[in-house]
Every structure is written in structure tokens, then in C-alpha cells.
Amino acid sequence: MNTSDSAAEATQADPHDDFPLRRRVTALLLASTLLLPLCLLAGWGWLALRDAFADAQRQCALLARVVQEHASKVMESNRLADQRLRDLTVQWSNADIRHHELELHRRMARMGHRLPQAFALAIFGDDGTLLVSSLLYPAPLLNIAGREDYRAIMVDREPLHLSAVLIGGVIPEPVFKASMPRMQGQRLAGIVSISLRPSYFADFYRQLLENTDGYRAALVRNDGAVLAAYPWPDPDAARFAARVRHMRDSDGPQRIERADGHAWLVTVHPVGDGVASAMVSVPYRVVYRAWWQRMAPASLAAAVVSAVLSLSLWSALRRIRAEEAVRRRWRDECARREQLEKRYRQSRKFEAMGQLIGSVAHDFRNVLAVISAYTDVLLLRPGPDVEGNSGRAERAERANRTALAGIRKSLASGALLAERLLGVVRRREHRSEAIALHEELQQCDPLIRATLGPGIALRYAVSPDCLPVHADRCELGLALLNLTANARDAMPEGGVLEIGAANLGAAYGGAGTLPPGLDAHRASGGTADGADHDDHHAEEGAEDPANAAVPMRGVYVRIWVSDSGIGMPAHVADRALEPLFTTKPDGAGTGLGLSQVSDFCREAGGAVTVRSAPGKGTTVTLFLPACQPSRRA
């Protein structure tokens, strides 16, 4: 079995020869390993973020409820303490209260010790003067007639008022006061006030928010003043407090934008009779941070797994591409080997054919030599002298000599055929000389015209500056005669034959150009092209660099022989240069003419092309190396 055939069958039968499909599937899997985890992670991240905000809202609401309950209990204890003081002093005037100041001071001090949120308890008269204090005895001279808590109770008649945080006076630390009216009968006789520590609320908020991250709690007055907060001081609570009045308990957690563009989640619940509100807030960045802390391990794990899979698939894709490249090179190598084997078989066939032709031609030439010798003897032998029949003898002698001359002519044709056959199978010595085409065509003109006959017009188109060529003069003349004979046979009803020559490429050295692909064919002895050309002017496009011509060093002369005959189809023109290939009827041609032309051009260092089309004639172009002229001044 032939190795190339087996390789071709193996290539066709290979079930793994599906590289495009494998490449597409691997690329799809590679994209999936990147996009699918990303999509899943994005979906899970969105759900996790939504859950994180839901948890933050629930946490805010729960903490706000705790802060509300704590503040409500504190307010309730304050109200009970105020009520006890009012009950003790309901029948006393301001003078009576001053008279019983020591007793009231002791009672109020004991009450203050039982109230951890209270710093001091105090009773003020209707003019704002301090009457009794649980902190100091005797009560210092102090009047609050100019403070907001006095105006709220004595002027605006509020049942409960929470003052803003105060620092100074007789109390050495920040406090805010919960004040209630003191009645004497039905008359407003003064104010009962409890000083509350903001630090007490801040400590509770700190313990409440100890296990949370970024949450903040505050007790805010209904007008937005911050009474207590954790952390303290809390500027964010002060910023949000002004917006508390616009929020309702039923609204739930709300998003609030700060002036700097940061968003916060805020929950507000009213305390007591609405004089204050419990507020819990958390910045969005804390929620995002908690969400990212939850997402980071999963993202890292997904990234590592996706990276490993992607690298594996990328390596597989590169391996598939490498296998495809190797398979392509293997196919090319199989094709090249098959072509070489085909050429080798063809060369062996031609070698065997050449040996057979050479043997037959040699014997045939020997036979012709013997016949030719005897024919010459007969021609040189004088005729018999016959008396009385001299006229008849003379006519017979003339007829014999005519027949012998015809035999002699046929022998010459047979000898020429034998020489051609021997020329095909053995290499002749090539004599290279400088040939001026103008002079060579003038010398060959009689033979060319005689070969063409009277029905075909001959014209020459030789460029005036055409350079001499390096070639064997005899072989060039024989090539022209062969081409002329082929053109004559292609124009049985007459036509026009044109023989022309022109320089190809630079006139002085440098780089010339040959038609596309012709350089590759020079080493193999020429090419045949079945393109459609009416005359030699169609060859001019081969000189155009725009036609992607192959650059070559040196200067060439292009010699064309163009006829207006019946032409050849492409598949015939492709084989026109093969030895022993002919389309002429049996006995009308040997198929050696164009083969000898191809051999001649190859031995001269040139090439040959055949361009033909049915009904449009044939142009055979010889490319021969030109002689380098001397440089002109």
C-alpha cells in the first residue's frame, strides 16, 4: 500500500479531526467558567446585600425600641419623683418651702440616690428663684427666669419640658432638665426640676451597642436638640436631629442623605408624650462593609476555583490549537510527500519511457542510416545504356531518381525525428552566446515563412531597444520553428502570427520582475497558464508591480509568439509543456515541440508560459536572460 494513500485514509478516518468544534466547545466552557460564576456571585451578592439591609433595618428598629423603652422608663421615674415633690409641697407657699428647706433637702437627696439618671432635684419659685436643691444646702442664689425651661412651664404652661444640655451654674457637669409645674391648689406656684445626666444614657447606649458595628443611638428633643447620644459627642446625631420632627413612628427605618453625600439608615420612636424621640442610626457604609465581609470569602473561593478552571481550559485550548497546528503541518507534510512520490513515479515513468525511446530511436537511426546509404548508392549509380529505347529508359531513370529523392527526403525527416527523440531523453551540451534578436529573426524569416505557408500573415513586434539574450542559437531557432509549426496547425483556415520581443524589468541591471508564480516554475522548467489573452499586449500586465509580481534580480527579455488560432481550453494548456502530450491526430504530431522549447528555456536560465483560451488564440512567451549592456553616459 502506498504510504501517502494510507496517510490520506488515516487523515480522513481520524475521529479526532474536529478541531474547530473542540476549539469552540473549549472556548464556550472557558467563557462559562468566567461568566457563570460571575453571574451567580452577582445574583447571590444582590440577595446578600438585600438581606444585609433588611437585617440592618430590623436591627435599627429593635435597638430603637430598646432605647425608647429605656427613655420611657426614665421619664416615668422622673414623673413619679416630680409627683412626690409636688405632693409634698402642694399646700406650702414659697416661704413655707424655705422654712422646711433642710427637711426637703434631705428627702430630695434620698430620692436622688434612688434615681441613677438624676444628678440633682430642685424646686423653684414662681419668680424663678431656687428654693430647695438636693445637691446643696442651703440653696445657692440662683434664678432661672431667663431660661427656656422657666418660660416653657410658667409662660407656655407645658406639662413637661426637657431642656437642652446645660453646662455651668451650680452643677459641674453637663445635664438636661426635666421640668414640671408645681401647683399650690389651683395656682401655678413654681417649678419642680430634675437634672438628668446625659452620661447615664450614653453608658446605657454603649452597653446596648457593644456588639454592633457602626450603630449609633441618641435621645433627641422634639425640636431636634440632642439630649444624649453614644458616641458622645455625636455630630451626626446633631445633623440628623433636625430631621427627626419630619419622621413618624410608623414610617420605620428611612434613608437619609447627609450634606456630604453619605447615606444613613435612621429609625425614630417617640418617647413619653412626644417631648423626645429615641433615634438609632447606622451608615450605609457599615452595611456595605458587613455585606462585603460576608461576600469576600465566597468571592475569593469562587475566584480561585474560576481561575483554576480557566487556566485549565486555557491550557486545553492552547493544546488544541497546538495539536491543530501539528495536524496541519502533518497534512502538509503528507501532501508534500505524496506530491514528491507522484513526481518520483512520474520521473521513473519518463525515465523508463526515455530509455525505451532512446533505444528505439538509436536502432531506428541505424536502420535509416543503412537505407540512406543504399539510396545514395542508387542515386550515384549511372543508368543502363539501352539502345533503341533511349527515351523510355530516360523516363524510367528519371522516375527512379524521383522516387529515390522522395525516399531520401523521407529518410531525412525520419532522421530528424530520431534526433528529436534522442534530444528528449539525453542532455545535450548547451552553448550559450549573445544573440541579437533583430538579426536572428531576419535569418530565420525565410524558414518561418516557409513553415507558415501562404495563408497566414506574419508580423514582427520587436522593441527597438531590445537587448541581446544569452542562449543557444540553434536551440532558439529550433524553438521558433516549433512554435511557428504549432501556430500553423492551430490556424488551418489562416490567420495572423505575431513574433515580438521586449525588455522585461530594468534596462540596466537592478531588479526585474516576472509574472506571479513564474519564479517558482523556473526551476521546474516552465508553466502553462490558461488565462484569456488576445495578443501579446495582454502580457504587459505581468510587468505591473501592482499585480503582485515576484521580484527577481537581473534583466530578462520577453519573446512572445502569438497566433489567432482556435486556442486551447485551460486543462489542455496546463499540460501543453509535458513531453509526448499532443492534441493532434495520430501521425500528425509527436508532442515533443513544446517540451523541447521548455527544456531550452530552462537550460538557458529562463522560463516559458502558455496562455490560451478557446477561440481566442494562443500566446507562448519565452523569458530569456538578457546580456547586460554597458552603462550609457
The torsion region of residue 393 among left (phi > 0), alpha (psi -120 to 50) and beta comes to alpha
Q: Within a 10 A sphere around the Cβ of 544, how many other Cβ atoms?
A: 10
Contact 119, 171 (CB under 8 A): yes
- What pLDDT score does 204 carry? 92
In which element (H, E) is residue 228 found?
strand 226-230
* Geometric angle at alpha carbon 108, from 105 and 112, rounded to 5°: 135
Pick the CATH number of 17-313 from 3.30.465.10, 3.10.20.30, 3.30.479.10, 3.30.450.20: 3.30.450.20
What is the side-by-side order of every strand in the sheet holding 456-462?
Answer: 456-462, 495-504, 556-563, 618-625, 607-612
Residue 31 amino acid letter: A
Q: How far is CA 415 from CA 112, 365, 366, 410, in A?
A: 150, 6, 9, 9
The CA-based angle 345-515-551, given to 5 degrees, is 105
Q: Which three cell numbers stand for residue 420?
A: 528529436
Distance between CA 83 and CA 90 in Å, rounded?
10
Cis bond before residue 382 (omega within 30° of 0): no
- pLDDT mean for each 10 residues of the chain (633 residues): 46 58 81 82 87 89 91 89 84 85 88 87 89 87 87 88 78 84 84 90 90 87 84 65 57 71 83 82 88 85 82 82 86 88 75 69 70 71 58 71 70 63 57 85 84 87 90 84 86 89 62 44 38 37 36 76 88 74 60 74 86 88 82 45
Among residues 79, 100, 102, which one has the least CA distance to residue 91?
A: 100
CA 485/CA 596 separation, integer angstroms: 13
Max CA pair span of the chain: 208
Q: What is the pLDDT of residue 69?
A: 92
Give residues with Cβ within 8 angstroms of 615, minimum separation 6. Answer: 566, 567
Under a CB-based contact definition with an 8 Å cutoff, are residues 533 and 611 in contact?
A: yes
Report how far apart, in Å, the C-alpha atoms of 186 and of each of 89, 91, 145, 181, 190 are: 13, 11, 21, 11, 12
| pLDDT of 281 | 86
Contact by Cβ (8 Å): 466, 475: no
Task: Write phi, then psi, for 341 (nearest 5 degrees).
Answer: -65, -40
Q: 444-451 contacts: CB < 8 A, separation 24 or more?
A: 444/477, 444/480, 444/481, 447/477, 447/481, 448/480, 448/481, 448/484, 448/499, 451/481, 451/484, 451/485, 451/488
Q: Residue 605 in contact with residue 625, Cβ under 8 Å? A: yes
Q: Pick the closest to residue 81 from 203, 180, 5 (CA basis).
A: 180
How far apart CA 395 and CA 382 sit, in angstroms, is 14
Q: How many Cα atoms occupy the beta-carbon half-sphere of 437 within 13 Å? A: 26
3-class state of residue 631 by DSSP: coil
Kind plus residue range of the DSSP H or E element containing 402: helix 390-425
pLDDT at 430: 65
Taking the domains of the chain in order of start, what are their residue ranges?
17-313, 431-625
Distance from C-alpha of 360 to C-alpha of 4, rounded to nearest angstrom: 35
- For residue 104 the three cell numbers come to 426637703
Q: What angle do CA 606, 355, 363 make, to 5 degrees?
A: 115
The CATH class of the 431-625 domain is alpha beta
The answer to whether the beta carbons of residues 146 and 124 sit under 8 Å apart is no
Q: How far apart are CA 158 and CA 243, in angstroms?
A: 23
